Structures are given as structure tokens and as C-alpha cells.
Chains A and B, each alone.
Chain A
Amino acid sequence: MSGAEVRWEHFRHGADIGVRGLGRTREQAFEQAALALAAVVAEPARIREAESVELSCAAPDAELLLVDFLNALIYQMATRRLLFGRVEVHMQQTADALRLEARAWGEAVDVARHEPAVEVKGATLTALAVAPDAGGGWLAQCVVDV
């Protein structure tokens, strides 16, 4: 476990872009995938933690939960013009679903300072995976449509 990476990256997909989070735990992989999503729009390092939002999602499996979680962030980005620089995720398996509670910190978009490149339309089921990775940690990824 100790050798597992905690980071995010993008991967290539035709006209769109793949977001991938790696972490020691599944929650961390989700957090990193959220940062990869945020980085499609603007550099996370440029985002101040001026406000936060709480999110909650539930899905029958971890993969659909990742899509729901990223789409919940995309909805906040679209309706509140928010960009995110930090995300905290907690998950819980209940009898009927896998549940997620998250808090995301960020600020409203400032075009001059953030230079946002592109808005994200939605998270897709393409290249969707939530699974243990080779390094002993977790991977969470999918393609997002831009």
C-alpha cells in the first residue's frame, strides 16, 4: 500500500479527454479524478479555496458512482461558475447502494486569472474503471466530453 501513487493525470481520447485519479484508497482515487476533471478547465494550482460545496451521490456500483460524482461536480461548475482545487471524498456501502459524501473547495471562475480553456459537458461511461492498480493502490477513470 505504501508504494501507491496519489496523483491525477489526463489520457487521450479522440476529440475529448480522459480523467484518471490514482490513490492509496478508492476515496483518494476519486478525489484525484475530481482534480483531473477540474484541470481540464483550469490549473488547480490557480484555484483559491474561497468557498465550498457539499455533494452526495448513490449508485449501484463504484463505476457509476464515479460518473455520478464527476457529473455532480460538473453541475456545480456549470450553475455556480465554480472551479475546484481540492476535494474530499467519503464512501459508505449500504444495503441498497454505494454512497458518497464529498466536499469540494474552490472559487468562482475569473477569466483573466484562471484562463479557463473549455467547459466540460458531462462524464461518460467510456474507458470507465474503478479498480485496484498495479502499484497496490486504486485507479478511478473515465472520459469526459468537452
Chain B
Amino acid sequence: MDLTRFERISATEWRLPPQGAMRVPAVLYASEPLVREMDDKVAEQMANVASLPGIVRASYAMPDAHWGYGFPIGGVAAFDPDRGGVVSAGGVGFDISCGVRMLHTGLPRAAVEAVQARLADALFRAVPAGVGSTGALRLGGKEMDAMLVEGARWAVRRGHGEESDLDRIEERGTMAGARPDCVSEQAKTRQRDQVGTLGSGNHYLEVQVVAEIHDEDRARAYGLAQDRVVVSIHCGSRGLGHQIGTDFLRRMTLEARQHGLAPADRELACAPIRSELGQEYLGAMRAAMNCALANRQVLTALVRGVFAVVLPAARLPLLYDVSHNTCKEEWHLVDGARRRLFVHRKGATRAFGPGHPDVPDVYRAAGQPVIIGGSMGTSSYVLAGLETGEARSFGSACHGAGRSMSRNEATRRFDGRRVVNELAARGILIRSPSLRGVAEEAPEAAPP
């Protein structure tokens, strides 16, 4: 990226002053090498977001930002409904509430390595993954609507987990304000057999080991210890979220002029928060959030079922569950005043600091756990939200591995079988229904 337009605020903060239609500055957090590798489109998209009505303070981008659609992926933007603020389907993305959850196993590395291949095979059999896979549940009518209203709580009520899991999920597992009546029949049809499926692309289930600890106190607060094994699940709202994104991107595009919005780019399609369309989108998007929370909860139950057979000593309590494609109504301090804002995080994770009322009691003193996924061959991270994040990014952080190479280039350069063999030589076992899919997600193509 060309840095000449940016002011350097510090080694990791870059500011694009308001110019043209921009109402607020654009602020990018990343080291200089990371910024230089970014596409110029990131700056263009940050500037476009900064021009939307009702935006507050700045259009932000996180260190893993890359070219998205409308909003950059890795973008954070907050809008004030009292000042004409908007909500954008592109600012949330198609995979609504895509996120990561991490489970403790309590087991040392050696105990898992002793049954590594058996565990990998059993997980692969039990957890539906890849194109065309379906879950064991069939949902329709009232049961579908109940899932869309209650999220992970619905799953727990149906026997997929424990009440205590809900304390360690954003929104306590249920996003309030969901409106299944705003979700199209097409979206519900896409979801009818997809609850409890992982999906494809960069979605995964990984058995991981704690390799390094950088902050002993917070690690202790999160229950993480050196050499202990954890399980991470990365997936989202599946077909339902994809269809809601599709439906509302179209409606927001067609109705933009009607709302007096003529954004610089059609893909920035949005609607005033206080419009009927804006409210319908928020209701549908929250239903998709609950779908994602329910999905990760059902997957958790499948993982626990496998461990109960292969490693029965493990209990697998939840560490935390974060979402990184959302628009949430939150209170933030802006110029000394508390304001109710709608914060879009597109490929960005909420990261509230110590003492924040939305952080569960168990983590209130340490700050919110922020789970950042890596690629197949690189590390994942558990970060901690800090109080300073509030003023710098409305309490937001990065979300995980991006891409440095196109899917086609990855397929040309990497052979899926060879990637599997090379990772196996490093002690990393891969189970995937598609070797082409493995090649497209090769560690060199999707670095952290």
C-alpha cells in the first residue's frame, strides 16, 4: 500500500485525514511491513466507509485488513442512529457471526499424541465438513424459529451442551432482538440440514496445544497452561447467514436512493438504522448470529461425544466463543459522552477490556478472551482485551489468518496430498474431504 497519504502516528498506527467525501479520518493499526503488503484497495475502502452517514470518530482497520466488498475485511465502523447512522449488509458480510470458540481438554500434549490419528479420524467421521455435507438435525417451522431466537441456548435446551457453556459465549449465547419473520424462506431452506456442520474454505476444527505463554496471569485466568491441549472451532451461520447477506445486499442496493443514500460505491449498500429496511436487516442479522451460536454449540457437543469415546478423561469446558462478522448495538464513550452506537466488525473481533460489563464475571478482571485463528501450519492466539482498546477501536481487535495468494495460485503451486504429507511430517494431521480444498488453504497461501 502507498503510505504517502497516511500520517504516521506511531510504529503501528496510521491516519488518513478526512478528504473529499470522508466525514471522519481513517485509522489503520499495523506495523509498517504489514501495511506495505496490504492492497491499496484497503485504504480506498476505509475512505469510502468514512464517508457513510452517521459514522462516529473514525473508520478503522485492523492489522490483518484486506480488500473486502464495500467494507475492508478487518474493518470496524460505528454509526449513531441519532445522527442518521446506517447499517450495512456488506459491513457485516455473508458469513454473519462467523467466529471461533475454544474448548479446554485439560489433557497434556502427550496424552493426545498417543491417540492422535485415532482422534483425528473419529473427529472427521463425527463432524460434517466440506461442500454438500449435512448435519443430523432437520429444522423447519417453529423449531427453526426457536433456534433463530435463542441461539446457543436453544442448542443447550435440546441437549447439545451444558448451561455453564452459556456463561462463556458473547451475549450469553443468545443475541437479543432476532426476528425470524425478517428471514426469507430461501434462507431457512438453505439452513434446514446445516445446523451442526463446519462448512468449507477456511473453516476448521483443530486440536491444538498451548505452545507459548506471554502473560502468566491472564493465561491462568483463562485456564490456559503450557503444553495443555485445546480444541478450536471456526465457522459461522452457514447457508442461512449467506442467504440473508445476499437478500439484504440486494434490497439495500435497490432502495439506496429512496433513503437518500448515494454511496461512492454500490457495494457499500446500506440503510438508515432508523428505517424499516435497516430494522428488518438488524432483526434478520441477529437471527443469523443466533444460528452461528447454535451451530458452534451443536459442533461442540459432537466434539465432546468423540472425546468421551477416545479420551474419556477429558471434560471439554468452553473457554470462550467470539464472533468476527457482526453489527452490535453497544454503548461507547465518545468525547466524554456515552452514546449508543451500532458497531460493525467485518473480520474483526470484539475485544472488551477488564471491568467491561459485557465481559463474563469469570473473565471480568482479566479482560475478554480474544481468540485469533491461524492457518493449518501456523499458530492461533488467545489475546486479552485491554481498556485502551475502547478509545482506539471501540474495543476491537484482528480476527486471524488472511490470504497472501489467490485460490487459483495456491492450487497451481501446491499439491493437496503434498501439503498433507508435509504437515504430517511436522506432527500436524489433516483430515479433509477435499485435497483441492487443502491446497487452497495451504499455510503458505494463508499466513497469519
A residues with CB within 8 A of B = 10, 12-17, 40-42, 60, 64, 67-68, 71, 74-75, 78-79, 81, 108-109, 111, 115-119, 121-126, 128, 143, 145-146
Contact, CB under 8 Å: A118 / B190:
no
Given contacts A14-B403, A118-B131, could you give 14 more A-B pairs where the C-beta distance is less than 8 Å?
Answer: A15-B73, A17-B407, A60-B254, A75-B243, A79-B189, A115-B434, A115-B435, A116-B437, A117-B200, A118-B437, A126-B68, A145-B93, A145-B94, A145-B245
Q: B94's contact among A17, A67, A121, by CB below 8 Å, is which?
A: A121
Contact, CB under 8 Å: A78 / B239:
yes
> Which residues of chain B from 379 to 432 have any CB-CB distance to chain A below 8 Å in the complex?
402-403, 406-409, 411
Task: Enumerate chain B residues within 8 angstroms of A145, measured Cβ to Cβ.
Answer: 69, 93-95, 242, 245
B304 at the interface (CB under 8 A from A): no
Task: Enumerate chain A residues within 8 angstroms of B253, measured Cβ to Cβ.
Answer: 64, 125
> Which residues of chain B from 30 to 88 have any CB-CB distance to chain A below 8 Å in the complex?
39, 41, 66-70, 73
Task: Enumerate chain B residues within 8 angstroms of A116, measured Cβ to Cβ.
Answer: 130-132, 200, 433-434, 436-437
Q: Give bound CA distance, A12 to B90, whole Å.
A: 19
Contact, CB under 8 Å: A15 / B66:
yes
Task: Enumerate chain A residues within 8 angstroms of B200, measured Cβ to Cβ.
Answer: 116-119, 146
Contact, CB under 8 Å: B39 / A14:
yes
Task: Enumerate chain A residues within 8 angstroms of B245, measured Cβ to Cβ.
Answer: 121-122, 145
Task: Enumerate chain B residues within 8 angstroms of A71, measured Cβ to Cβ.
Answer: 246, 250
- Top-4 shortest CB links A-B: A116-B131, A126-B69, A14-B67, A121-B242
> Which residues of chain B from 12 to 35 have any CB-CB distance to chain A below 8 Å in the complex?
none
Task: Enumerate chain A residues within 8 angstroms of B140, measured Cβ to Cβ.
Answer: none
State the Cβ distance, B285 to closest chain A Cβ, in Å. 14
B residues with CB within 8 A of A = 39, 41, 66-70, 73, 90, 93-95, 130-132, 186, 189-190, 199-202, 239, 242-243, 245-246, 249-250, 253-254, 266-267, 269, 402-403, 406-409, 411, 433-437, 440
Task: Enumerate chain A residues within 8 angstroms of B94, measured Cβ to Cβ.
Answer: 121-122, 124, 145
Contact, CB under 8 Å: B267 / A124:
yes
Task: Enumerate chain B residues within 8 angstroms of A115, measured Cβ to Cβ.
Answer: 434-437
State the Cβ distance, A83 to closest chain B Cβ, in Å. 9
Task: Enumerate chain A residues within 8 angstroms of B201, measured Cβ to Cβ.
Answer: 118-119, 146
State the Cβ distance, A129 to closest chain B Cβ, in Å. 11
Q: B266's contact among A15, A75, A128, by CB below 8 Å, is which?
A: A128
Q: A122's contact among B39, B189, B242, by CB below 8 Å, is which?
A: B242
Task: Enumerate chain B residues within 8 angstroms of A124, measured Cβ to Cβ.
Answer: 69, 90, 94, 249, 267
Q: Give bound CA distance, A68 to B39, whole Å.
A: 28
Contact, CB under 8 Å: B132 / A126:
no
Task: Enumerate chain B residues within 8 angstroms of A16, measured Cβ to Cβ.
Answer: 69
Known pairs A15-B66, A122-B246, A124-B267; A75 contacts B190 (CB<8 A):
yes
Q: Give bound CA distance, A14 to B95, whole Å.
A: 16
Q: A41's contact among B95, B131, B190, B267, by CB below 8 Å, is which?
A: B131
Contact, CB under 8 Å: B66 / A126:
no
Task: Enumerate chain B residues within 8 angstroms of A128, measured Cβ to Cβ.
Answer: 266-267
Known pairs A111-B132, A118-B131, A143-B69; A125 contacts B249 (CB<8 A):
yes
Q: Give bound CA distance, A145 to B239, whole Å.
A: 12
16 residue pairs bridging A and B, Cβ less than 8 Å apart: A10-B406, A13-B67, A13-B406, A15-B66, A15-B202, A17-B406, A41-B131, A67-B250, A79-B190, A116-B436, A117-B437, A118-B440, A119-B200, A121-B242, A122-B242, A125-B249
Known pairs A117-B200, A121-B94, A126-B70; A109 contacts B403 (CB<8 A):
no
Task: Enumerate chain B residues within 8 angstroms of A68, measured Cβ to Cβ.
Answer: 250
Residue of B nearest to A123 (CB): B246
Task: Enumerate chain B residues within 8 angstroms of A123, measured Cβ to Cβ.
Answer: 246
State the Cβ distance, A54 to closest chain B Cβ, in Å. 16
Residue of A nearest to B65 (CB): A14
Task: Enumerate chain A residues within 8 angstroms of B131, measured Cβ to Cβ.
Answer: 41-42, 109, 111, 116-119
Q: Give bound CA distance, A75 to B222, whole Å.
A: 41
Q: B403's contact among A15, A125, A126, by CB below 8 Å, is which?
A: A15
State the Cβ distance, A67 to closest chain B Cβ, in Å. 7
Contact, CB under 8 Å: B437 / A125:
no
Q: Give bound CA distance, A122 to B240, whole Å.
A: 11
Q: Give bound CA distance, A118 to B269, whole Å.
A: 26
Task: Enumerate chain A residues within 8 angstroms of B67, measured Cβ to Cβ.
Answer: 13-14
Interface centre among A64, A108, A115, A143 (most CB of B within 10 A): A115
Task: Enumerate chain B residues within 8 angstroms of A42, measured Cβ to Cβ.
Answer: 131
Contact, CB under 8 Å: B408 / A10:
yes
State the Cβ distance, B67 to closest chain A Cβ, in Å. 4
Task: Enumerate chain A residues within 8 angstroms of B68, measured Cβ to Cβ.
Answer: 14, 126
Q: A117's contact among B41, B269, B403, B407, by CB below 8 Å, is which?
A: B407
Task: Enumerate chain A residues within 8 angstroms of B132, measured Cβ to Cβ.
Answer: 81, 108-109, 111, 116, 119
Interface centre among B67, B131, B411, B434 (most CB of A within 10 A): B131
Task: Enumerate chain B residues within 8 angstroms of A15, measured Cβ to Cβ.
Answer: 66, 73, 202, 402-403
Task: Enumerate chain A residues within 8 angstroms of B202, measured Cβ to Cβ.
Answer: 15
